[in-house]
Chains A and B, each alone.
Chain A
Amino acid sequence: MSERIYVFKRFERFWHWSQAALIIFLMLTAFDIHGTYTIFGFEKAVAYHTTAAWTLIGLWVFAIFWHFTTGEWKQYIPTTEKVVAMMKYYLVGIFKHAPHPFRLTTLRKHNPLQRLAYLFILVCVGPLLWITGGLYLFYDKWAAWGLGGLSLEWVATGHTIGAFMMLAFLIAHVYLTTAGHTPTAHIKAMITGWEEVD
């Protein structure tokens, strides 16, 4: 018999979905700017991308504040415990309907692989995107800031690498939402806050 636990608080859910929408929109406009396709056209895409980026920064200010005041930041501390078990589960167990090796609680709502993935996004992909993106945004100020030696090509390439990593993450992330207790359990939890667990 399954039970329900309250995993995602109201702000967290709001943060997640607004961030998801912003990141998808940033991707959409990003590859427009990159010249991959034309939806908004370069000029509008740049304007929208910039606005979305600033909005996301604003959201993050709140999110960081929330994580520290609630202590939820601890959810992202990496652990090696059960990492191998998780990998085995995704590679083999999931097809045999083996029990999920990780049982989530309100104190440990991310499985060990999730923790690692999110941490990687948080400390590698995120900073790469924010730093290169910030520089990109203020490239006309480089000389004034003593960064005249920077090359726009390198900054742009770094930003593009970050974008590809984020896109790959997004695909895997969306898929893995179906890997819960039931295919929709994780998604429901992210909407209602309540997750069914075994």
Chain B
Amino acid sequence: MKVALALCCAGWLAASGPVRAEEAKPEAKPVKLTTTADHGKFKQLQKTFDSGPEVTKACLECHTEAAGQIHRTKHWKWEFLNPETKQTLGKKTVINNFCISIASNYASCTSCHVGYGWKDANFDFAKQENVDCLACHDTTGNYKKPPGFAGNPVTKDTEFPPGSGKIIKGIDLAKIAQKVGKSSRDTCGACHFNGGGGDGVKHGDMDSSLAAPTKDIDVHMDAEGLDFTCGTCHKTSSHDVAGSRYTPTAKDDKGVQVRGKAGSGNPATCVACHDNAPHKKEPRLNHHATKIACQTCHIPTYARGGIATKMTWDWSTAGKRDADGKHIVKKDAKGRITYESRKGDFTLAENVKPEYAWFNGNVQYTLLTDKIEKTEQRTQINKMGGSPSDGKSMIWPMKVFRGSQPYDPVNKSLITPHTAGNDDTGFWKNLDWDKAIPVGMQDSGAPYSGKFDFIKTEMSWPITHMVAPKDKALGCVECHARDGRLTGIQGVYLPARDNNRLVDTAGWAIVFLTLLGVIGHGTLRIVTARKH
């Protein structure tokens, strides 16, 4: 018994030895490796905030230049002058074939503006405290800007729409402000995953599956692998995010962007990291890469994360009511909305093969001021420039979104209807185009004849996200085939897709005649052999 006790004691002493040695060291302070500041310790943030601008004022006490930087960006202005086409673009101005336009619908649309209070055309873009820091720097996931509040968060429980009985819970801005950090896939995604009014609706290559994707969905953003955030590629400089849908870089021949190297190329291209000749084992593919965008082979399909993207939207069927005069909502077997009285008919799809086109980065928008004709051909909301011979184009994958939307057949222009809004003229409330269109057109400052019709449109979205691992890239036969993916692409000779018809016809004729000749000759020999 004594022996056993002694052994136990010895064991305990031996075991406790190293522990005591560790205790003797000074305690290592747990640190966050992503930031040098714990915002929870800042006095400015230890208070109750009733509104967004109050938080911004606190931020600006230290980050004195931040609002000024934001004020210069597209994210703030929603305005962009395309230096090549001289078109004034930006969300403020462009029209699409999803929810169409923001004019007269500000309070709803601006829930995705990096600002507070843009409720109509008179928004003060010069006010520093109107900048919303939290939209991009929230790390808690609790920051919400519900549609209808002009980009303001709701800090007290609020019934919305008024009289509906639905309560939007207020959020505690102090808690959020005390935990601010770098932007993340979640903060960018809060708006960009939901473009077009819902998860994955607009882009097809961006949806909430990218918040924590598997390697198969995106090899770079793979949450258990490279774990890129949006900002890893879309590297910001003075709060200006690199990359553009208005002036995309279709062909990047500048090679890798080395630190210190002069030139202001787009850091978000594939080439900016991978160079122009990244296929070390198969140099032939580098030659492919002189005419084919990386995305064409490396993004075999989009909407791969289990979230469907909208492919078509027919506004012309909107406005129907059921027998009781109520709004109709139809869903497919998977519970996805395929018809809504407010919006019309939709089709959705997952794992979509892109369409392909020569693209040189030049995008010409059809704006409210442009004349359009209703013809057999769809009106292009954005004309994608490009040709096999201009030396600037590459073959790009595109999501082509097709729809039917209101237009003015007398003035021959597109229409910006008033859709969102809890008022009598909002189409989504009262389903009356005759009320919704004049209000929307007036807000846009555009003439309206009083007559409307629907016009078929299409809009192209270059596909660039959801890059698959290399073993999932397109195989040769996807394009090198009679009816492959590049069937309509002109200007390149594609073995297996292309052939010289004359040569093939003449060739097979010669082969056939030779065969016929030898068969005839042989038969004759057999016949004559019998006679002898």
- 1/0 per residue, CB under 8 A from B, across A161-189: the answer is 10111011001100100100000000000
CA distance A43 to B479 in the complex (A): 11
> How far apart sit A97 and B284, CA to CA, in the bound complex (Å)?
57
A residues neighboring B (CB under 8 Å): 33-35, 41-43, 46, 90, 94-97, 139-140, 151-153, 156-157, 160-161, 163-165, 167-168, 171-172, 175, 178
Known A34-B499, A171-B518; judge A160-B507 contact (CB<8 A): yes
Assembled-state Cα–Cα distance A156/B504 (Å): 12
Q: How far apart are B506's CB and chain A's nearest CB, in angstroms?
A: 8
Q: Is B19 an interface residue (CB 8 A)?
A: no
Report the bound CA distance from A35 to B476 in whole Å: 12
Q: DSSP class of A's interface residues: helix, strand, loop or mixed?
A: helix
Contacts A35-B481, A42-B477, A171-B515 known; A164 to B522 CB distance under 8 Å? no
Give the distance in Å from the alpha carbon of A169 to the alpha carbon of B518 in the complex.
11
**A153 to B521, Cβ gap below 8 A?**
no
Interface residues on B, range: 35 or more
B274 adjacent to chain A (CB < 8 Å): no
Per-residue CB proximity of B156-175 to A under 8 Å, as 1/0? 00000000000000000000
A43 touches B476 (CB 8 A): yes
Q: Are A160 and B500 in contact (CB under 8 A)?
A: yes
**Chain A residues, CB < 8 A from B482:** 35
* Cα distance, A172 to B482, chains bound together (Å): 30
A153 to B490, CA, bound (A): 13
CB-based contact A42/B496 at 8 Å: yes
Measured between beta carbons, the chain B residues less than 8 angstroms from A161 are 503, 507
Of B284, B477, B500, which contacts A41 at CB under 8 A?
B477
Other-chain contact of B493, A151, A163, A165 (Cβ < 8 Å)? A151
Residues of B within 8 A of A153 (CB): 493, 498, 500
Selected contact of A33 from candidates B475, B496, B506, B528, CB within 8 Å: B496
Contact assessment for B510 and A175 in the assembled complex, using a CB-CB cutoff below 8 Å: no
- Smallest Cβ distance from A93 to chain B, in angstroms? 11
B286 contacts the other chain (CB 8 A): yes
Are B475 and A43 closer than 8 Å at their CB atoms? yes
Which partner residue on chain A sits nearest B510 by CB separation? Answer: A168
**Which chain A residues border B521 with CB–CB below 8 Å?**
90, 175
Q: Are B503 and A35 in contact, CB atoms less than 8 angstroms apart?
A: no
Q: Are A42 and B481 in contact (CB under 8 A)?
A: yes
